[in-house]
Structure 1
């Protein structure tokens, strides 16, 4: 637990009022690196369940857009009974909470990433991605068209600034030559990796952090989940994710190699940028060298399959 003074009285009063029942915030705990988002517990005990409070970052010029997307996505997820927290309240201009704020219910499970994943767990990750693709969605202001994961980060520009590799350059050039995928758009999470999932044993209990959500191809989340599995557990893990996705979706995945390449290019040449968050998620064994080797193995295999598909 942290000191209550980490959050303003204005914010705490807003959260308690949104929960209702005449409660007050009794305890606060940071959920990511002991910071935002925050787990709130209330008293008197028994009047209200715990809640998760997510606050905007005033240093992020896009935090208004991110929070609008988060709220819109949670509403879609709730309407379709997807594995997501229920939205309790939102203050998208900070007028009531003193900061941009989203308050949700607490999902069971935790997001710590194990050193080894069973095939059952990986198939369940694929099934979670498949649940989203069952929701048709037309792009709109708060849920715009997405063409890749983490769409608000220009990885290609950052690679040009910080340096790249021959393999990543080849992948970029290949994608530039290919036509954009066509077809209906569906609801996508837009940042589907293990750190944004909650688990009870080998069962995925929910998805969190919806600020990259939007409308796009189902391949965005499938490719992202497969790539993450390969990074966390090695290349064969991606196959189990695909198996779970196809079983839950009741169909074969379209343009799998293309979306695998797209997923792998949402990185920097030096995978050290991933290391701090992975340590916080329980994987200190994954250093930049291991992650780079696994990324390159996944990307090389995807490019080879893309070549075969074009013959």
Structure 2
């Protein structure tokens, strides 16, 4: 077997063995800037047409942790039939492939973000977040307690190093004074933005990139999705996400203002840090100024609602 696109023969052999059925790798396509993760296509395609292969460095503790979380999350998602790829095989110590390797099924749809989102699409995003909160989950080693999105990045420390704004500083001080709302912990994706969703028209076909998953409040994913919708499509879009969540959950969401502040605080003062990801997902119209204005409007409104709740 010849290596393809820089993938070793050892990795390709492992992938073929995991799929089984006498297939061979016919084509390899890089899914992110022409590289990792990879789409592997097989011949004959009557058993499995394609799979997604994600690779990592077994010598990097961060990679090991992220892969372990991804595998654990995919297993939970599979047990509860949530919209996620199915786990086919994993090599979490490099014993079989010489690297970290994760093999999953391919989900239909694409993650390109449209310039305008319909109310139906936004409510569907809220409904997907609501589906996660139906799964009770106690924190565990691979799926730890989460109190915010993208929990492995210390945004407050980054702002202290790179600079902040009065509004972000006020939000940080406010959160420091408030206890984290108590309640049962549920399964959370932990990075629920449009770039981690797949769509067919206005129907969400699945969630990807589960390496920030864990156990936490439903508000983490709900407000994460609300904040992302506000950034992508404008402030009113966040309310459509909330409507979709509440309709699917059959109840009112709790502590929305608090979790909105948490979501908007998972940023840097200069929103340029996330512009490349937005452009890569098909939104070259979004720049740091637009994103900063929308972030500040969303955060200011959330802080005002917190003020009103405390009166």
TM-score by length of 2: 0.97
Aligned residues between the structures: 309
- Cα deviation, residue 7, structure 1: 1.0
Q: Which position in structure 2 is the counterpart of 1:222?
A: 222
Q: Which position in structure 2 is the counterpart of 1:301?
A: 301
Q: Provide the C-alpha distance between the structure 2 equivalents of 1:272 and 1:28, rounded to a whole number of angstroms.
A: 32
Q: Provide the C-alpha distance between the structure 2 equivalents of 1:59 and 1:165, rounded to a whole number of angstroms.
A: 37
1:119-268 map, 5 Å: 119-268=119-268
- Cα deviation, residue 100, structure 1: 0.4
Uncovered stretches (5+) of structure 1, i.e. residues with no partner: none
- Cα deviation, residue 181, structure 1: 1.0
SS at match of 1:139: coil
SS at match of 1:5: coil
Offset from partner CA, 1:126-162 (integer Å, 9 cap, x none): 0000000000000000100000000000000001011
Q: Provide the C-alpha distance between the structure 2 equivalents of 1:59 and 1:160, rounded to a whole number of angstroms.
A: 30
Distance of aligned partners of 1:282 and 1:57 in 2 relative to their CA distance in 1, 3 Å threshold = farther
- Cα deviation, residue 58, structure 1: 5.8
TM-score by length of 1: 0.97
Distance of aligned partners of 1:31 and 1:17 in 2 relative to their CA distance in 1, 3 Å threshold = same
Offset from partner CA, 1:246-267 (integer Å, 9 cap, x none): 0000110000000000000000
Q: Provide the C-alpha distance between the structure 2 equivalents of 1:32 and 1:112, rounded to a whole number of angstroms.
A: 12
Q: Provide the C-alpha distance between the structure 2 equivalents of 1:6 and 1:32, rounded to a whole number of angstroms.
A: 15
Q: Provide the C-alpha distance between the structure 1 equivalents of 2:59 and 2:155, rounded to a whole number of angstroms.
A: 20
Q: Which position in structure 2 is the counterpart of 1:43?
A: 43
SS at match of 1:268: coil
- Cα deviation, residue 57, structure 1: 4.2
SS at match of 1:247: helix
- Cα deviation, residue 45, structure 1: 3.2
Q: Provide the C-alpha distance between the structure 2 equivalents of 1:298 and 1:62, rounded to a whole number of angstroms.
A: 31
Q: Which position in structure 2 is the counterpart of 1:63?
A: 63
Offset from partner CA, 1:66-86 (integer Å, 9 cap, x none): 111000000000000000000
Q: Which position in structure 2 is the counterpart of 1:90?
A: 90
